């Protein structure tokens, strides 16, 4: 496994729409492993492939309560409720914003074995699903924040 470089806001790769993964190859599996290592080393909750310069529809998310999710070609298929909370991003270091996200989110994706899975999360996990899937479409949380912290 290898720790990857996390791109920062201003890098044009973060604003690109990612392409679907056609086949789950050893390279895709290695990318998943490297992304998990990178996310954990950075103390993140999630990481999307474009954040490490790979324009593919792949995200990893890990929360203390729900564990690790490796999602290939994820799509939100259902959502409900509302939560307003603080949000940050490994690609926007040192900044925080307030966002409005669904309280409950269901995502359909492929796992590393190529099996279709549906995963439902609430609270932090729902927010992470929305945040990371936004990255796949070239969006950052700062685009949807209802309020950003002030910069000194």
Element (H, E) at 36: helix 26-41
Q: Which residues are catalytic?
A: 132
CB atoms within 10 A of CB 93: 11
User: Residue 70's closest CA among 20, 123, 113, 23?
Assistant: 113
Please state, in angstroms and rounded to a whole number, the distance separating the CA atoms of residues 71 and 56: 11
Please state, in angstroms and rounded to a whole number, the distance separating the CA atoms of residues 39 and 6: 9
């Amino acid at each position: 496994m290898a720790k990857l470089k996390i791109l920062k806001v201003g890098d044009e790769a973060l604003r690109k729409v990612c392409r679907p993964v056609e086949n789950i190859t050893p390279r895709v599996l290695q990318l998943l492993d490297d992304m998990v290592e990178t996310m954990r080393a950075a103390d993140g909750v999630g990481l999307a492939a474009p954040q490490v310069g790979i324009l593919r529809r792949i995200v990893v998310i890990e929360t203390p309560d729900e564990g690790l999710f490796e999602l290939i070609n994820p799509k939100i298929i259902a959502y409900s409720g509302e939560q307003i909370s603080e949000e940050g991003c490994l690609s926007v270091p040192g900044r925080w914003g307030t966002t409005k996200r669904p309280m409950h989110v269901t995502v359909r994706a492929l796992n590393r074995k190529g099996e279709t899975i549906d995963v439902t999360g609430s609270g932090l996990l729902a927010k992470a699903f929305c945040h990371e899937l936004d990255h796949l479409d070239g969006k950052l949380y700062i685009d949807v924040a209802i309020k950003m912290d002030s910069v000194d």
